[in-house]
Amino acid sequence: MTAVEDRPQMPAEEFERIALAAEREGVRMEFIHGRLGVKAVPDGDHDEIIRWVMEQCMQQRPDLWLYPERGLRVESHRKGHAKPDGVLSPKGSFAGQGEWASADRAVMVVEVTSYDTDTDRRGRDGKPRAYAETGIPVYLLVDRDSCEVLVHSEPEDGQYVSLVRRPFGKTILLPDPVGISLDTEPFKAWVR
């Protein structure tokens, strides 16, 4: 028997309708593991972290592009809908796709924690599972609360089997298929 909390709050199609209406009002929504979530609007420091990651990707992997706020269908049956802060994919990967695209071409997703407990919980717990179930090779979480970078990789059976943590200030290798050395020293300036 399925527990009540394991049942989706609504069908994915209903979520898409609600999320579209909410976006017109400036609210960003996600639907992970059957649960509706509101994603906090990024602050300036959040934007600087994404800019830095994007810049590093452009310099080291010009064949890839970090698409900000790209809506993806995630989870094992693609019933989840997430808007990562960045999706690293080959250029042109999302041409012709709608607001919620297939994650098949994503090589990495990037999330930067906000100072909102629900968003943080989803970034640390729900999203790694959803991204691993989808088969996205690398999940980079920039955790501004703990001042560290977490690199989840090697998705297997719905979870990432490798997790590497480094404090801000250290350089971290984002494993293949990403293959980027990320200097995290600048992140120290973009936390409260």
Domain limits, the chain:
43-190
What is residue 41's DSSP assignment? Answer: P
Question: Could you tell me where the beta strands, DSSP code E, fall in the chain?
Answer: 28-32, 35-39, 64-68, 72-74, 80-82, 86-90, 101-102, 108-112, 138-143, 148-156, 159-167, 171-174, 180-183
- Considering only CA atoms, which of 180, 102, 87, 187 is closest in space to residue 139? 87
Selected from 3.90.1570.10, 3.40.50.720, 3.30.70.270, 2.40.30.40, the CATH number assigned to the domain covering 43-190 reads 3.90.1570.10
Residues of the chain with pLDDT under 70: 1-41, 77-78, 116-125
Output the pTM of the full model.
0.80
